[in-house]
Amino acid sequence: MGMKEKTSGFFGEFKAFISRGNVLDLAVGIIIGGAFTAIVNSLVNDMIMPLVGLIIGGINFSDLKIVLSPAVGETAEVAICYGAFLQQVLNFLIIAFVVFLLVKGVNSLHRKKEQAPPAPPAPSQELTVLTEIRDLLRENKA
């Protein structure tokens, strides 16, 4: 019976750990981040890089490389593919810029919430009754 309680306790702790909000938020963030990365990669590879290549003379960045040793027979060429590296740097810069814009937007929303003056508290029932009494006394004097 002791083993079952220990196992139940272990799985119970694991369930509590997984159910915590920050772990679930992290999991959602990772999934969305993966999908976002695919979108940005497509944006860079399929839309931006062809335009950049066209502007600088039709160069395809992914083909840029320095061949250290050409292919001979069945031996593959040895090359430094700096074009692929440049493409990844551009991917990073675009992702960083988009994240910057998102953080800037969220911070702006937080600042607007902080700057909004709090609504004045509703008058208490006692104050409402006293105000009505004052108004009635004024009417009687007039």
CATH number of residue 79's parent domain: 1.10.1200.120
Average pLDDT over residues 54-80: 87
Domain assignment of residue 141, yes or no: no
Q: Confidence class of residue 82 from pLDDT cuts 50, 70 and 90?
A: very high
Q: Work out how many domains the chain is built from and give that number.
A: 1
- Highest mean pLDDT pick, 55-59, 110-114, 136-140: 136-140
Domain that holds residue 87: 2-136
pLDDT at 4 over 60: no
Residue 58 in any domain: the answer is yes
pLDDT at 95 > cutoff 90: no
In a domain, 101, yes or no: yes
Which pLDDT belongs to residue 49?
Answer: 76
15 in a domain, yes or no?
A: yes
Whether pLDDT at 90 is above 60: yes
Q: Buried b / exposed e across 111-128, counting CB within 10 Å, b at 16+?
A: eeeeeeeeeeeeeeeeee
